[in-house]
Amino acid sequence: MIIEEVNYLSHPDQVKLIPGAAKAINTLNSLKIPVIIVSNQAGVAKGFFPITQIPLVHERLNQLLARENAHVDAIYYCPHHSEGSVPEYSFQCKCRKPKPGMLVEAEEKLNLNLTQSWLIGDNITDMEAAASVGCNSILVRTGHGKQFANQYLPGGTIVKSDVYEAVNFILNSFSNLGYCA
């Protein structure tokens, strides 16, 4: 949602920020609104890349954000998939979206209130994860979001063109916590 879509992104060189993403996060940072990333990384369970790639990708992401004076407060990821090929990661977990495990963990660890938070995502599963725990949500039309133009969305889902527009909408409407997926 803040990184340009690459199927099973696994290398730092593949990380490109979506235009406006760093600026949007910078604004949230300056307002002291926590920004948390919650991402499904089933490529680990499927054996497409080793889990050790994930911190390298995060490091690159943090570098790119830092160049624009932006940072995220936490990153949660789910390396699991029920039909993976790597036994250690292949089971029904509680964190793979649409399950809300990563949101619940962030709420506990960062002392947030999910009902006053927003999840911005590009997939129906993001919207479902948010809805299941009473978190507000915005679907953006970047990445996977392009394909959900006319599909059913969980009640209350707001649609915006990209993360920059989504964050502006949140800040203009309310002033609570922000989430990025």
Q: Catalog residues that contact Zn ion under the rule CB under 5 A.
A: 78, 80, 93, 95-96
**Nearest in space to 13 (alpha carbons), one of 74, 72, 63:** 63
- Report CA-CA distances (Å) from 29 to 24, 70, 165, 166: 9, 7, 16, 15
For Zn ion, the closer of residues 126 and 162 by Cβ is: 126
Q: ∠ CA(129), CA(134), CA(138), 5° rounding?
A: 65
Kindly state the smallest distance separating residue 96's Cβ from Zn ion, in Å. 4
Residue 78 or 163: the one with the smaller Cβ distance to Zn ion is: 78
Closest to Zn ion by CB, 76 or 169: 76
Quick one: 21 or 181, whose CB is closer to Zn ion? 181
Distance CA 4, CA 15 (A): 7
- Please, which residue, 54 or 95, has the CB nearer to Zn ion? 95
List CB contacts of 29: < 8 A, sequence separation 6 or more: 35, 69, 70, 71
| Strand bridging mode 177-180 / 117-121 | parallel
Nearest to 84 by CA among 53, 40, 125, 43: 43
CA distances to 10, 40, 133 from 164, rounded to whole Å, are 25, 22, 24
CB of residue 98 to Zn ion, shortest distance in Å? 12
Least distance from Zn ion to the Cβ atom of residue 80, Å: 3
Nearest approach, Cβ of residue 40 and Zn ion (Å): 8
What minimum distance in Å lies between the beta carbon of 39 and Zn ion?
11
